[in-house]
Structure 1
Amino acid sequence: MDEMVKGKNGRIVKWQGEVPFPEIPNANFASFLLARMSKHGENDAALVNGQTGAAYTYGDLLRNIPKIRSGLVTAGVRPGDKVFLGCRNHIDMPVALLSIILAEATCVLVNPASTKEELKHIIGLSESRWVIAQDEKVAQTVEDAFKELSPNAFQQLWVIDETTSARPSLSDLISSSTPELPHKKEVFDAATTVALMPLSSGTTGLPKGVMLSHRNLIATQIQRAFSASLSPLRGINVYQSAIIIIPMYHMMGFNMVMNTLFSGGKAVIFPRFTPKEYFSAIEKHKVTLSPVVPYVLRYLETSHTMKNHDLSSLITFVTGSEPVSASTLTNVTKKSGRMAMQGWGMSETTGIGTATSTQTYDKEGCVGKFQPFFQAKVIDLETGEMLGEGQEGELCVRGASIMLGYANNPKATAETIDPEGWLHTGDLVYFDEEDNFYVTGRIKDLIKVKGYQVAPAELENIIRKMEGVRDVAVAGIPDERLGEVPKAWVVPRADAVLDTKAIIENVAAQVTPYKQLAGGVEVVHSIPRNHIGKVLRRQLRKPYEDKSKRSKL
């Protein structure tokens, strides 16, 4: 039941429409997706290696995924077991992932570049016992991590790239599969059975295991299809050909591939972004959709290569993971002749929650309206009261795709999901009279100057618009008198010479005194970011925090 309004004009925002929401079936997500894929052309390409041209058709997926599932079960994988999947973008990754989920095990999505120490933490929090690794290098690092944990923790490991290892592979799982599954079929509950465990981005600390149920994953697909059926683009398959350069072990990449398979499209997969391969693939595969991280979108904004390629098949660029300035979206749209959109979402919401439209993409900070199945509210940071239009506070959301919680971390779960089912996102937002949401920053990134709150994104947007600036990050550094003060790290464009004093003066002319760059400006070669492009502000702050601690000893 919706709460009573507590704050001034406070209200819950939700999708407004007369069409009833579709039912969410109680089903295994992989079974649900395979049933959908069986309606597509058996010989149509589903997954394509963008570098080699190797491909799987929908017929291949419908045959191989159940076989690999059977091979896993024959090896001993049981419902509820955790299977660690450490793999960069590869056409076998979705195959392995769906096979794990079909076996009613939990697929733990892991960055294959993780170090041994990082893997020890991930294995511990997820309780993974089975492993599918990209190649011999990843397999060896995982094995080393297991050796330093409980000796009985590890069960078995398979590799995807057979050319780099003599270990058992996915092909071996297919050959070892049996028609009859040896385990007894248990009563299945899609709402409580964990299908997928991506890891939180860990920008402010160690990553947490995000428990997503089969119902969460199915709801996301039904929600997207329902929303698409009501949009101005209905009848047009945006996912007809999607280029996947964002990591599939992150929820945005995972969802883009699953959306493509659900829609009967072709996912053209690359392990990383390189301009030459990217633009050539758009031409060759008549790409209709290009999801990118903000950093790549900002590259496209300034790239001179784009004009040399035919982008006529492309319908839209989409981005997420952190807010992108309206000027960047507008510049890419004008330069390419194709729409550049952004949305908001989290691993904890099973992906996208909002999306901009042709009417809102150029509004500064706007991430669009919430999708069907979601409810949202904004609460006061101090009182928790519900706020109304134009009032900034913390975004809270609830709905069918909200995670079950964090694996083996009841404290963090209770701090994030309240008793009424609201997920407290940690994002600072406000919404307008048309229910469009605007992201202004992260609560944990707020800079406290004499008790006043300063959002880094506000200052970054000002600096990013200055001539010669390619990238920027703002964070708070310790100050004996003021507590914290904002400092900017700025990356110049090629051949540009930045005047740090001019940057400080330009910001000062546009903000109140406590928001000024009292910590100064530092010109750097690059901004530290994680694998999906989020700024690692803790790395920027750490030298100053360490210095402050030493000075107090």
Structure 2
Amino acid sequence: CSQLGLERFHGVCILGFNSAEWFIADIGAILAGGFAVGIYTTNSPEACRYVAENCSANVVVVENHKQLQKILEVQDKLPQLKAIVQYGEELKEKRPNLYSWSEFMELGKDVPDAQLQEIIKSQKPNQCCTLIYTSGTTGQPKGVMLSHDNLTWTASMAGRFLMLEEAQEKQELVISYLPLSHIAAQMTDIWTAITFGVQVFFAQPDALKGSLVDTLREVRPTAFLGVPRVWEKIEEKMKSIGAKSSALRRKVASWAKGVGLQTNLKRMNGSSEVPLNFRLATHLVYRRVRRAVGLDRCTRCYTGAAPITRETLEFFLSLNIPLFELYGMSESSGPHTVSLPQAFRLTSCGKEITGCRTLIQEPDSDGNGEICFSGRHIFMGYLNMEGKTKEAIDEEGWLHSGDLGRHDKDGFLYVTGRIK
């Protein structure tokens, strides 16, 4: 990146589906002293221009010809842009300052290690290294500034809290398929993976159109994060397969689901009893179902980024696949509360990660108030938007989520609505 003229604290925008090159561009941008900035692949040329201009991007990395066209369309409005790199396919045209991935890699060979070490040495934990652009449902997207410390601290604390194992003890496996421009995928696929030595597999670009289940079966991950829509799609697929089964199989499955739901609800409330009919159902149904969807090695199935229905949670719980809800936002470097196998409640987002604190501001008679966060995971502010930053973080350092919620008597957090 530095060979292409990347200046300190300028953006490197990455526009493409999850891949090793995405990771390399992201981490490389940070180590070269710039900002790593993901752009959603669904963005229009104008939306891409807004992000690239807002972060003063010197370099844009694109996956293919289709994404390249978006940048070329707005290139003349980006005076800071010095180079474009394409990684997913061979270049279809030659242009000045347009590089293939192999040409880009070749450029790096001439940079002496000492030069790079100098830049790395000058970086400080409290300096910004990554920008996450919020979807901007109201007005333009805001660039959430995350520091080195935000990312490394959150990855370490969240991973430990979730009891991820270090690679020396056990090899954890995950699938990278959710958009890397979003904090959820970045935290799980890049930062937690680096911290704990997790092996990352990349799904096909059409993962969310149906190929994800094939990848799940092939990889058999040990941990898997799905947004509610992903779990709903898996549920729909399982139900349609079940409907085609013989009458006897449907009867056995229905019995097993009843046993599974009852036993897991008791477990959730502290029971350690494993009844005989549950063991039988595990042998006849649960193991087979898990194998069929590639979750037979998965000890942690997570859901987050949006509310999930109780029906979907109960459907998976009845098949002995508990879904553990996470809650957080880009402004909190991702996770703030998480559910654990030994500590979860249906429809709750779990409990605070060690070192994170929650304030329910001005609760009503039911205990509902605005959920506010504090901790080392709280972002630095919005890029070039001081007013918006002051609206989000109050004078005492609490980040206001805009969500309504309450704690139950056991300290589990429930999100109950929005205030803005």
Q: What TM bracket, shorter-length normalisation?
A: 0.7 to 0.9
Paired residues of 2:226 and 2:302 also in contact (CA < 8 A) = yes
Deviations 1:169-218 (A, max 9, x none): 23222211222455864743211x11110111223332111100111011
Counterpart of 1:433 in structure 2 is 409
Give the one of 419, 422, 428 matched to 2:398. 422
Residue 127 of structure 1: how far off its partner (Å): 2.0
Change (3 A) 1:420 1:221: same
Give the one of 183, 206, 230 matched to 1:251. 183
1:300 aligns with 2:300: no
Deviations 1:234-292 (A, max 9, x none): 99979711122211111111111122232222212122425763233223223212211
Equivalences for 1:124-523 in 2 at 5 Å?
124-147=53-76, 149=77, 152-166=79-93, 167-177=98-108, 178-180=111-113, 182=115, 185=119, 187-191=122-126, 193-229=127-163, 240-258=172-190, 259-270=192-203, 271-274=205-208, 277-304=211-238, 305=241, 307=289, 308-309=292-293, 311-335=295-319, 337-358=320-341, 361-364=344-347, 366-380=348-362, 387=363, 390-444=366-420
| TM-score, length basis structure 2 | 0.79
2:378 is paired with a residue whose SS is: coil
- CA distance, structure 2, for counterparts of residue 275 and residue 243 of structure 1: 16
Tell me the amino acid that sits aligned with residue 119 of structure 1: C
- CA distance, structure 1, for counterparts of residue 168 and residue 345 of structure 2: 23
Unaligned runs of 5+ in 2: 243-288
Deviations 1:498-527 (A, max 9, x none): xxxxxxxxxxxxxxxxxxxxxxxxxxxxxx
**Considering only aligned residues, what root-mean-square deviation do their CA atoms show, in Å?**
2.6
Change (3 A) 1:285 1:237: farther
Tell me the amino acid that sits aligned with residue 160 of structure 2: F
Change (3 A) 1:310 1:228: closer
- CA distance, structure 2, for counterparts of residue 256 and residue 406 of structure 1: 22
Tell me the amino acid that sits aligned with residue 214 of structure 1: H
Residue 115 of structure 1: how far off its partner (Å): 0.6
Change (3 A) 1:226 1:395: same
Paired residues of 2:166 and 2:196 also in contact (CA < 8 A) = no
Residue 352 of structure 1: how far off its partner (Å): 0.7
1:363 is paired with a residue whose SS is: coil
1:303 is paired with a residue whose SS is: helix
Tell me the amino acid that sits aligned with residue 278 of structure 1: L
Higher helix share: 2
Equivalences for 1:23-38 in 2 at 5 Å?
none
Paired residues of 2:145 and 2:379 also in contact (CA < 8 A) = yes
| TM-score, length basis structure 1 | 0.61
Counterpart of 1:114 in structure 2 is 43
- CA distance, structure 2, for counterparts of residue 285 and residue 90 of structure 1: 16
Residue 112 of structure 1: how far off its partner (Å): 2.1
Equivalences for 1:90-109 in 2 at 5 Å?
90-109=19-38
Residue 404 of structure 1: how far off its partner (Å): 0.4
Counterpart of 1:76 in structure 2 is 5
Give the one of 17, 25, 32 matched to 1:88. 17
1:198 is paired with a residue whose SS is: strand
- CA distance, structure 1, for counterparts of residue 46 and residue 188 of structure 2: 30
1:210 is paired with a residue whose SS is: strand
- CA distance, structure 2, for counterparts of residue 428 and residue 203 of structure 1: 18
Paired residues of 1:73 and 1:103 also in contact (CA < 8 A) = yes
Tell me the amino acid that sits aligned with residue 329 of structure 1: L
Paired residues of 1:340 and 1:361 also in contact (CA < 8 A) = no
- CA distance, structure 1, for counterparts of residue 317 and residue 181 of structure 2: 28
Paired residues of 2:167 and 2:198 also in contact (CA < 8 A) = no
Paired residues of 2:4 and 2:59 also in contact (CA < 8 A) = no
Deviations 1:144-188 (A, max 9, x none): 2232x25x3221111112325454123222211222455864743
Identity %: 24
- CA distance, structure 2, for counterparts of residue 275 and residue 118 of structure 1: 24
Paired residues of 1:116 and 1:144 also in contact (CA < 8 A) = yes
Paired residues of 2:18 and 2:179 also in contact (CA < 8 A) = yes
1:172 is paired with a residue whose SS is: helix
- CA distance, structure 1, for counterparts of residue 2 and residue 43 of structure 2: 27
Paired residues of 2:326 and 2:338 also in contact (CA < 8 A) = yes
Change (3 A) 1:350 1:309: closer
Change (3 A) 1:95 1:189: same
Unaligned runs of 5+ in 1: 1-71, 381-386, 445-553
Paired residues of 1:393 and 1:428 also in contact (CA < 8 A) = yes
Aligned residues: 360
- CA distance, structure 2, for counterparts of residue 236 and residue 357 of structure 1: 23
Residue 361 of structure 1: how far off its partner (Å): 4.1
